[in-house]
Structure 1
């Protein structure tokens, strides 16, 4: 296991290397490929770059151009308590994103 890779640890990274994550490794990503929409660590990016020479890989200096991985936006926009419901509303009292069901059940003004 090389530096930066941690199996079963509690490190929280803002972006995790996609190939490492598939191998149950928790490795911080340093690169993002727009064409693959995947994140890569320093160990995985050379393999990617060799296989996909024409892909544009962004490093952390271009992090604002990194996109969420496919499917991740969907997960982030869905309510955990009410599957299938989108998080569309904000409760100002609780400073929380809510779906319409949450608002109706838990975030009504009870005055």
Structure 2
């Protein structure tokens, strides 16, 4: 699964996808390509070396977002409860037609 990383300059900019190769070297570089076969991400520089080694692995650029997995940043937004900071949406209240975390279901949706 994709993880969020911050850029090398220590700014608050959050990148949705980090280059897997650079990340192993403790370098935060935004990914521009994804390999579904390996489930790894690559920046423009690393993808050149990778394509020489893994010729049969097809990589997808940013122009093919449907070939990329949901990023960790996006997944967190979709799964976190709006009312409870540590709450993860795990339950569905049929009466209110809402997704709820543990706290919501106990206190608001019995």
- The TM-score, its normalising length taken from structure 2, stands at 0.61
Query: Which residue does 2:103 correspond to in 1?
Result: 102
Relative distance call for 1:8 and 1:98 in structure 2 (3 A) is farther
The superposition leaves residues 8-49 of structure 1 with CA deviations (integer Å, 9 ceiling, x where unpaired) of: 443211211112122222211110001011111011111211
Which residue in 2 is equivalent to 1:62?
64
Distance 1:102 1:16 in 2: 33
Task: Indicate the RMSD between aligned Cα atoms, in angstroms.
Answer: 3.5
Gap runs ≥5 in structure 1: none
Q: For the residues of structure 1 that align with 2:20 and 2:44, how far apart are their CA atoms?
A: 12
Higher relative contact order (CA 8 A, sep 6+): 2
Indicate yes or no: 2:56 matched with 1:51: no
Tell me how many residue pairs correspond in the alignment.
93
Query: Structure 1 segments of 4 or more deviating over 6 A?
Result: none
CA shift digits 1:33-66 (9 cap, x unpaired): 0101111101111121111110010011101211
Q: Which runs of 5+ in 2 are unaligned?
A: 1-6
- 1:87 matched to 2:94: no
Contact map agreement 1:88 1:98 (CA 8 A) in 2: yes
